[in-house]
Chain A
């Protein structure tokens, strides 16, 4: 079974600084999808960024970017110019087909003013 590991239960960053959240996964598949979801205190899950495994180029969405290392099975999220509104739980997720989407345990990000 595929597993997703987030080794950082908590992280903190100073406002306007950059922070990187780590994620590793285990799979025997060659074609799959990776996601980062944000869960703010409202508990509404929001998609931050998505990466297709067959694409070598790292996905970018404004201040959010990923470092996708397929051979190492690593998928880290970089948040640049951190804002107070970035404070949330962040979940890394893996999907081969959507019916087996697997989530990591999450990283709680605190942004200090």
Chain B
């Protein structure tokens, strides 16, 4: 089955630690995205990548980093510089970044700082 896989589903992090969220897609999509979802705020764009080895900051990139070494993979690292990392994180992909096509989403990762 084609789709987007995020892992883990739940993640706990101690303050001061970096943590990496995994996102893998087998849809052969060029574009991939990371969103953060907080209650009452909808989805906010963290980073996006239109092609391998290229990525751009979204609205709330501070405290986050990404890489895009393979077309299928777009991991997100939440660094210790992110002051309020507890949230639900969604990864998405689309065929490309310019045609207004549907974005397909993973099932999300719930990150909690303990």
A residues apposed to B, CB below 8 Å: 4, 6, 9, 32-33, 35, 42-47, 50, 52, 91, 95, 97-106
Complex interface residues of chain B between 37 and 68 (CB less than 8 A to chain A)? 40-45, 48, 50, 56
B residues apposed to A, CB below 8 Å: 31, 33, 35, 40-45, 48, 50, 56, 88, 90, 92, 94, 96-103, 105, 107-108
Which chain B residue lies CB-closest to A1?
B59
Q: Which residues of A contact B90 (CB under 8 A)?
A: 45
Distance from A65 Cβ to chain B, minimum over Cβ atoms (Å): 18
Given contact pairs A43-B88, A45-B90, A101 touches B45 in the complex (Cβ within 8 A): yes
Q: Are A106 and B42 in contact (CB under 8 A)?
A: yes
Q: Which residues of A contact B99 (CB under 8 A)?
A: 98
CA distance A95 to B43 in the complex (A): 13
CA distance A106 to B97 in the complex (A): 23
Q: Which residues of B contact A99 (CB under 8 A)?
A: 31, 33, 48, 50, 56, 97-98
CA distance A105 to B42 in the complex (A): 4
Q: Are A104 and B42 in contact (CB under 8 A)?
A: yes
Q: Which residues of B contact A106 (CB under 8 A)?
A: 40, 42
**Which of B40, B42, B98 touches A103 (beta carbons < 8 Å)?**
B42
Q: Which residues of A contact B35 (CB under 8 A)?
A: 103
Which chain A residue lies CB-closest to B40?
A105
**Which of B41, B98, B108 touches A98 (beta carbons < 8 Å)?**
B98
11 A-B interface contacts by CB (under 8 A): A6-B42, A32-B100, A42-B107, A47-B103, A95-B100, A98-B31, A99-B31, A99-B56, A99-B98, A101-B45, A103-B35
Q: Which residues of A contact B101 (CB under 8 A)?
A: 98
